[in-house]
Amino acid sequence: MANGLQVRGLVKSYDSPSGKVKVLSGVTLEVAGGETAGITGPSGSGKSTLLNIIGTLDTADAGSVQLNGQDVLSLKGSRLYEFRNTSIGFVFQDHHLLPQLTALENVMLPSFLAAAGSGRERALELLSEFGLSKRKDFFPSSLSGGERQRVAAARALINSPKLLLCDEPTGNLDETASAKTGKLFLSVAKKRKIPVVIVTHNLELAKLFSVSYIMHDGKLLPGGGK
């Protein structure tokens, strides 16, 4: 599979006052373009660590990450910065929206950083796709939790990333809003034909995805799925 995401043998330890703690001990994961992979697992099992390494926000001790055939972990300096900004979309548990910017301005922001023009038209299209046209001039404080997460998802997609990584995107939402957000990510993957990886504690949500995994003892085990 040249296209999509391939993670092989990822190993990661952290230093702690009581010695080295092994968090990942050989994680392997393949997600094709258009597929969504759900990852569940206990708190502290290494789910965020895995997403952060795939997204180049953290480093691995061993293993490889390839996106559409490109070796991600060997990127350095300005190429790494550009890759992170244009190839990867992140959605975090707490939306990370800037409170002093409107929904529309928040969505447009990464397009400025990537020097890809103002991105206003694309931002308006994304807000419309996510059912937020009427909220475009609202500040995050005036949006519901689900609406904020949808703005965060729109922002993650503004630079047309080749991979979308979501860490507990529905962590603070009720069941209805979670299901709505989950389905949105499914359609995002299908429409753009990109791999989407979603970490969630929500087992109902995990059932929606193409494939799901459980993080256990530093490895990903098959968790079922469609």
Ligand X SMILES: Nc1ncnc2c1ncn2[C@@H]1O[C@H](COP(=O)(O)OP(=O)(O)OP(=O)(O)O)[C@@H](O)[C@H]1O
The span of 44-52, 72-80, 102-110, 123-131 binding ligand X (CB under 6 A) equals: 44-52
Measured CA distances, 31 to 118, 175, 195 (Å): 31, 26, 6
Q: Is 44 in the site for ligand X (CB under 6 A)?
A: yes
What is the footprint of Mg ion within residues 39-98 (CB under 5 A)? 48
Q: Which is nearer to ligand X, 16 or 78 (CB)?
A: 16
Q: Is 46 in the site for ligand X (CB under 6 A)?
A: yes
Q: Is 43 in the site for ligand X (CB under 6 A)?
A: yes
Alpha helices, DSSP H only, in 88-174? Answer: 103-113, 120-129, 145-157
# residues contacting ligand X (CB under 6 A): 10
User: Within its chain, how far is the Cα of 152 from the centroid?
Assistant: 10
Report the partner that residue 224 touches, choosing among Mg ion, ligand X, none (CB closer than 5 to 8 A by kind).
Answer: none
* 7 contacts 62 by C-beta, under 8 angstroms: no
Report the partner that residue 23 touches, choosing among Mg ion, ligand X, none (CB closer than 5 to 8 A by kind).
Answer: ligand X
CA-CA distance, 88 to 54, in Å (whole number)? 9
CB of 48 to Mg ion, least distance (A): 3
Q: Is 14 in the site for ligand X (CB under 6 A)?
A: yes
CB of 20 to Mg ion, least distance (A): 20
Q: Which is nearer to Mg ion, 48 or 86 (CB)?
A: 48
The span of 36-44, 99-107, 137-145, 187-195 binding ligand X (CB under 6 A) equals: 36-44
Instruction: Describe the strand order of the beta sheet including 163-167 as a list of residue ranges.
Output: 88-91, 163-167, 196-199, 36-40, 211-216, 219-222
**Residue selected from 6, 36, 40, 45 as contacting ligand X according to rule CB under 6 A:** 45
Residue number, nearest CB to Mg ion = 48
Quick count: other Cβ atoms within 10 Å of Cβ 95? 21
Burial class (CB in 10 A: 0-12, 13-18, 19+), 69: exposed
CA-CA distance, 69 to 5, in Å (whole number)? 8
Which tokens is 124 given? Answer: 């308006």
In the complex, the residues that contact Mg ion under the rule CB under 5 A are 48
In the complex, the residues that contact ligand X under the rule CB under 6 A are 14, 23, 41, 43-49
